[in-house]
Amino acid sequence: MDQFGVSNLDFEEMQYFHALPGGGQTQVQQLLYNLNQRGIEWDLLPWLQQKGLGMMAYSPFDRGDLAHHTGLTDFARERGATAGQIALAWLSAQDQVIPIPKTNHVERVIENAGALELELATEDLATLDDLFTPTPEPESLQIY
């Protein structure tokens, strides 16, 4: 069987699917994941990481909301970056997570690529956790 990816399966659905004949051929799961939407960190994301499965994070800017977050824009400015670049760098710092930003503008593609030059230190990640507190308990899978 060929390798493939899935999208928007919650923790229980993903476990069930992966256990089916051929389900182990899954290579990646596409999910809503960004600084504002972190409910998968309790169960689904660690499970995917433990299984060695990639995770494609769609809507990494949370429909543009992160670009207007004062704390994030200040944090980014202090590092000579944009809020979008920080949001992408944060996702890229997560094990086996690949952000997939959408844009129709070449300038934005170039800006987004600048995130590859950013390396967030442990203190930076802690500051971002303070700005965007992880959910205190598991949540239902969010889908846009």
Between strands 54-58 and 97-100, the pairing is parallel
pLDDT value of position 1 = 58
pTM (two decimals) = 0.94
* Rg from Cα positions in the chain: 16
Q: What is the dihedral of CA 104, 67, 56, 101, to 10 degrees?
A: 10
**Residue 68 and residue 49: Cα distance in Å, rounded?**
31
pLDDT averaged over consecutive 10-residue blocks of the chain (144 residues)?
91 97 96 97 96 97 96 98 98 97 95 96 97 90 90
Tokens matching residue 30: 């596409």
> 114-136 pLDDT, tens per residue?
999 999 999 999 999 999 999 88
Provide the token pair at 63. 């429909």
28 contacts 55 by C-beta, under 8 angstroms: yes
What pLDDT does 69 receive? 97
